[in-house]
Chain A
Amino acid sequence: MSSLEVRGISKSFGGVKAIDDFSFDVGQHAIVGIIGPNGAGKTTAFNLLTGVYALDAGRVILDGKELTGLPQHEIARAGMGRTFQNIRVFRGLNVLENVMTAADPYSDYNLLDVCFYSSRKRSREQAVRELSRNYLKIVGLEGCEEERPESLPYGLQRKLELARALATNPKVLLLDEPAAGLNPSEVRAFIDLIRTIHSQFEFSIIIIEHRLEVIMSLSSKIFVLNFGKLLASGTPAEIVSNKAVTVAYLGEEDTACSI
Chain B
Amino acid sequence: MEYLASTLTFTGISLIGVLGAYLVTGLTGLFSFGQAAFLAVGAYVSAILFKNFGLPLPVAAVAAMITGLIAGVIVGVPTVRLRRDYISLVTFGFGEAIIAVLNNSTSITGGATGLSGVPQYTTFPLVLVSVLVCLAIVISYKNSKYGRQCLALRSDELAARSMGINVERLKLMTFLMASVMTSFAGVLFVFYTTYVEPGAFGWVVSAEWTIIVFVGGINSLTGAVVATVLLTGLPEFLRFASEWRIAIYCIIVLLILNFRPSGMFGQYEISLRSIKQLFGKGA
Residues of A whose CB lies within 8 Å of any CB of B are: 50, 52, 71-73, 76-77, 82, 84, 88-93, 97-98, 100-102, 104-107, 109, 111, 114-115, 117, 121, 124-125, 128, 148, 164-165, 168
Residues B144 and A90 in contact, CB atoms below 8 Å apart: no
Contacts of B149 in A (CB 8 A): 101, 104-105
Give chain B's interface secondary structure class.
helix
Known contacts A111-B177, A168-B163; 7 further A-B pairs (Cβ under 8 A)? A72-B162, A73-B166, A93-B152, A100-B148, A111-B173, A125-B143, A128-B145
Q: Is B141 on the interface with A (CB-CB < 8 A)?
A: yes
Residues B152 and A105 in contact, CB atoms below 8 Å apart: no
Q: Is B158 on the interface with A (CB-CB < 8 A)?
A: yes
Q: Is B164 on the interface with A (CB-CB < 8 A)?
A: yes
Contacts of B145 in A (CB 8 A): 100-101, 104-105, 107, 109, 124-125, 128
Q: Which of A82, A106, A117 contacts B162 (CB 8 A)?
A: A82
Given A92-B154, A100-B148, A121-B144, A114 and B161 contact (CB-CB distance below 8 Å): no
Q: Is B146 on the interface with A (CB-CB < 8 A)?
A: yes
Residues of B whose CB lies within 8 Å of any CB of A are: 136-137, 140-141, 143-146, 148-149, 151-152, 154-156, 158-167, 173, 177, 219, 267
> What are the nearest 9 A-B pairs in CB distance?
A104-B145, A76-B164, A72-B161, A88-B159, A105-B164, A90-B155, A102-B163, A101-B152, A77-B164
Q: How far is the CA of A210 from the CA of B69 in the complex (A)?
A: 52
Min CB–CB distance A93 → chain B (angstroms): 5
Contacts of B146 in A (CB 8 A): 111, 114
Residues B141 and A73 in contact, CB atoms below 8 Å apart: no
Residues B159 and A168 in contact, CB atoms below 8 Å apart: no
Q: How far is the CA of A92 from the CA of B151 in the complex (A)?
A: 7
Given A76-B164, A164-B163, A168-B164, A114 and B158 contact (CB-CB distance below 8 Å): no
Min CB–CB distance B64 → chain A (angstroms): 19
Residues B141 and A92 in contact, CB atoms below 8 Å apart: no
Residues B141 and A114 in contact, CB atoms below 8 Å apart: yes
Q: Which of A84, A101, A124 contacts B148 (CB 8 A)?
A: A101
Residues B160 and A90 in contact, CB atoms below 8 Å apart: yes
Contacts of B164 in A (CB 8 A): 73, 76-77, 102, 105-106, 168
Given A52-B158, A111-B173, A101 and B140 contact (CB-CB distance below 8 Å): no
Given A72-B162, A92-B154, A164-B163, A97 and B141 contact (CB-CB distance below 8 Å): no
Contacts of A124 in B (CB 8 A): 145
Q: How far is the CA of A137 from the CA of B177 in the complex (A)?
A: 36
Given A88-B158, A90-B159, A73 and B152 contact (CB-CB distance below 8 Å): no
Given A101-B160, A105-B165, A93 and B144 contact (CB-CB distance below 8 Å): no
Given A111-B173, A114-B137, A115-B140, A50 and B151 contact (CB-CB distance below 8 Å): no
Residues A101 and B162 in contact, CB atoms below 8 Å apart: no
Min CB–CB distance B131 → chain A (angstroms): 15
Could you name 20 residue pairs across A and B whose Cβ atoms are closer than 8 Å? A76-B161, A82-B162, A88-B156, A89-B159, A90-B159, A92-B151, A92-B154, A93-B152, A97-B148, A98-B152, A101-B151, A105-B145, A105-B166, A106-B164, A107-B145, A111-B173, A117-B140, A124-B145, A125-B143, A168-B164
Q: How far is the CA of A115 from the CA of B158 in the complex (A)?
A: 29
Min CB–CB distance A161 → chain B (angstroms): 9
Q: How far is the CA of A31 from the CA of B146 in the complex (A)?
A: 34
Given A92-B155, A114-B140, A101 and B163 contact (CB-CB distance below 8 Å): yes
Min CB–CB distance A47 → chain B (angstroms): 10
Q: How far is the CA of A93 from the CA of B149 in the complex (A)?
A: 10
Contacts of A106 in B (CB 8 A): 164
Residues B159 and A73 in contact, CB atoms below 8 Å apart: no
Q: How far is the CA of A164 from the CA of B120 in the complex (A)?
A: 53
Residues A114 and B144 in contact, CB atoms below 8 Å apart: yes
Q: How far is the CA of A92 from the CA of B26 in the complex (A)?
A: 10
Residues B165 and A101 in contact, CB atoms below 8 Å apart: yes
Contacts of B143 in A (CB 8 A): 125
Residues B165 and A73 in contact, CB atoms below 8 Å apart: yes
Of A89, A115, A128, A164, chain B has the most CB atoms within 10 Å of the CB of A115
